[in-house]
Amino acid sequence: MSWSEKILRVDLGAGTCTSEPLNMEWAQDYMGQRGLATKYLVEETDPNVDPFSPDNKMIIATGPLTGTIAPTSGRWSVVCKSPLTGAIACSNSGGFFGGELKNAGWDMIIFEGKSDTPVYLDITNDKAELKDASDLWGKSVWETETTLRERRGDNDVRVASIGLAGENGVLYAAVVNDMDRAAGRSGVGAVMGSKNLKAMVVRGTVGVKVKDPMAMMKTSNTAKEILAENAITGEGLPTHGTQVLMNVINELGALPTRNGHDVQFEGAHDISAEAMAEPRESDGEANLVSNAACFNCPISCQRRSKIDPSHFTVKDKPEYQMVSGGLEYEAAWALGAACGVKDLDAVTYANFVCNEQGLDPITLGSTLGAAMDLYAAGAITSDDTGGHELTFGNTEVFVAMVDATAKGEGFGKELGQGSKRLCAKYGHPEFSMTVKGQEFPAYDPRAIQGMGLGYATSNRGACHLRAYTVSSEVLGIGGKTDPLVTEGKAGLVKAFQDLTAAVDSSGTCVFTTFALTGDDIAPMIDAACEGDWGVERLNEVGERIWNMERQYNIAAGFTGADDTLPERMLKDIAKTGSAKGSVNRLDEMLPEYYQVRGWDESGVPTQDTLSRLSL
């Protein structure tokens, strides 16, 4: 139990929806969500498949705890081959869609093939059918969700959809649910668009059965108490959100600024959590209106924001003058510091557009930063950008480029291909701040050594959420380590990667790990699911998932040479801050990382490691 033990297989070419049993043997080895969906992808697809081919499958997956009373149990994932990276894509979202899908009785949906015409999937419990979406094609996420909600006449339905970015093949298009929650990274929305699938709408009233209800209540309540009493999950995140990190990371000198030329941004405070809470000079209102929570989440880290109606971005656009999903740290960094933009409402507007049309704000901001770098170097001119002076910090042009990218117009089409392709086209591949083709997030690897190793070895390309060593290297959660030291980081990164893979496969949010340990999480899984689930097993499952993803990437053509960082991080020293004079010393960490992973010198898992993990 806890698994619904049921998969919905949707053949988009044939237009059929079929129920089939979940492979419970695999569920015991890969748990759910990220791990189990990847197992299905590995078994059912060729790693060398063209990501936009009908043969690339897209899997929507919940975890065993999704939809249960376990705290933060609203998580779900999209798994497929990424069009941005060519590597495994697993993008995780919150909101309410995942819990609703699980409560409709489905562990996963496997989409295969491609529809000839636009369709959406309509689910009410065990009834699922594909419906015509011709009238929705060309609509934004916001319009699509509103229309489908009205069409169903049921305010309790949950919707996940793509906007124009997914339809237009923007390589970092997101799947957005509940208006502003997103499976944002690696271009999963573009794969959805390539299948002519506009949306999924779901209503679920079946419920989720657990193995031992009393134990489930007890363990979940214990976890909720820990989360409530913890200073971070009970106070810091609800009050300030993830954006509280803007000033922390800037003070440290680890805020990648102007495409990584600097590590501190003079405008950091203007786009920080503290600034969001301050009344604006213009209208006396604060950007931040309130916080909000995903399904069954006691942390409530979401931001709800409102832009000054007289701000140039929205003054003639009433549809953006409402309260909507506000800035998280990663979005504020990418759309702010990475581009040298310090206008909080302009950055918030760009984030609204990302939600509205389904774009990953990290890759969008980083790509814009790279384009500004190309402009500064003279590699592109205003002839390329439609007459725009694409300089760092030019807020009006920044906003125009965000709009152009969302709509697929002019130079926005090129920005929609991500920084790797853009920089290669204009002769400066070294300007792309990517690993395996995916833009890295808001922590400069020169000042946080372990994050550099985490980016370099992340299976989905650069990512902070695969091994959030910032917890240890900066914030001192669970023991402080020195961010400038490389010693011990290999083991630290591996430990984070393995536990995170397990949490990502459980159906709960990785933010719980700021307060909960494996000793708190495992008992909830054990109460909910068949099998004995302890901490050791969680780590073993996490390690198995990590190695499975690695094997997929190797089969897709990646090698140890791809476990690297942009040259700028390895050769250009940090100019200021605590790491002044430093570069990332990846070469000191990577060989040891391969060793602790049980991989050979070229980064390939040894036969012993694969056997140990039953791979």
Partner 1 sequence: MVLKITLKLFAGLSEYLPDGAHQNAVEVVLDREQSISQVIEQFKVPAEKAHLVLVNGVYCAPSDRDQNKLKEGDILAIWPPVAGG
| DSSP string across 243-310 | GGHHHHHHHHT---BTTTTBS--TTTGGGSHHHHHSBPTTTS-BSEEEEE--TT-SS--EEEE---TT
Closest approach of partner 1 to the CB of residue 242, in Å: 3
Q: Which is nearer to partner 1, 74 or 241 (CB)?
A: 241
Rg (CA), the chain: 22
Query: Can you tell me which of 49, 228, 248, 289 binds partner 1, judged by CB under 8 A?
Result: 248
482 touching partner 1, by CB under 8 A? yes
Report which of 170, 164, 158, 149 is spatially closest to residue 198, judged by C-alpha positions. 164
Cβ(199)–Cβ(161) under 8 Å?
A: yes
Question: Is residue 577 a contact point for partner 1 (CB under 8 A)?
Answer: yes
- Rule CB under 8 A: choose which of 187, 253, 361, 418 binds partner 1: 253
- Separation CA 525–CA 505 (nearest Å): 11
Size of the site for partner 1 (CB under 8 A): 41
User: From residue 112, how far is each of 12, 69, 90, 309, 453 by CA, in Å?
Assistant: 6, 32, 17, 44, 35
Contact flag: residue 184 with partner 1 (CB under 8 A): no
- Whether the Cβ atoms of residue 177 and residue 194 lie closer than 8 Å to each other: no
Q: Which is nearer to partner 1, 106 or 265 (CB)?
A: 265
Cβ nearer to partner 1, comparing 231 with 377 = 231
- Minimal distance in Å, beta carbon 2 to partner 1? 26
Given a contact cutoff of 8 angstroms between Cβ atoms, the answer to whether 274 and 254 are in contact is no
Binding to partner 1 by residue 464, rule CB under 8 A?
A: yes
Among 476, 491, 557, 581, binds partner 1 (CB under 8 A): 476
Q: How many CB atoms lie within 10 A of CB 16?
A: 13
Q: Which stretch binds partner 1 (CB under 8 A): 176-184, 198-206, 230-238, 601-609?
A: 230-238
Question: By rule CB under 8 A, what string of x and - marks binding of each residue 578-607 to partner 1?
Answer: x-----------------------------
Query: x/- contact string, 268-297, with partner 1 (CB under 8 A)?
Result: -x---xxx----------------------
Options 245, 341, 353, 380; binder of partner 1; rule CB under 8 A: 245
**Nearer to partner 1 by C-beta: 285 or 482?**
482
> Could you tell me if 359 and 353 are in contact, meaning their C-beta atoms sit under 8 angstroms apart?
yes
Q: Which of 231, 322, 485, 555 binds partner 1 (CB under 8 A)?
A: 231
Near partner 1 by CB under 8 A: residue from 251, 319, 519, 536: 251
Our CB check for partner 1 shows the closer of 275 and 397 to be 275
Nearest Cα residue to 613 out of 44, 29, 28: 29
Beta strand spans in 94-170 (E)? 108-112, 119-124, 127-132, 158-161
Would you count residue 75 as binding partner 1 (CB under 8 A)?
Answer: no
Q: How far is CA 415 from the centre of its chain?
A: 19
Which of 320, 440, 511, 552 binds partner 1 (CB under 8 A)? It is 511
- 81 binds partner 1, rule: CB under 8 A: no
Are the C-beta atoms of residues 357 and 139 closer than 8 Å to each other?
no
Q: Which is nearer to partner 1, 396 or 482 (CB)?
A: 482
Only one of the segments 74-82, 452-460, 496-504, 509-517 lies at the binding site for partner 1 (rule: CB under 8 A); that segment is 509-517
Per rule CB under 8 A, is residue 440 in the interface with partner 1? no
Q: How far apart are CA 481 and CA 150, in angstroms?
A: 52
State which amino acid sits at residue 193: G
Residue closer to partner 1 by CB (options 83, 577) is 577
Could you tell me which residues are beta bridge partners of residue 119? 132, 197
Nearer to partner 1, 106 or 514 (CB): 514
Name the H helices within 154-212.
164-167, 188-194
Helices (H), 426-534: 449-457, 470-473, 489-504, 518-528
Q: Which of residues 319-348 bind partner 1 (CB under 8 A)?
A: 328-330
DSSP H or E run through 536:
helix 535-555
242 makes contact with partner 1 (CB under 8 A): yes
Judged by CB under 8 A, does residue 243 bind partner 1?
Answer: yes
* Binding residues for partner 1 (CB under 8 A): 230-232, 235-237, 239-245, 247-248, 251-253, 269, 273-275, 328-330, 464-465, 468, 471, 474-477, 480, 482-483, 510-511, 514, 577-578
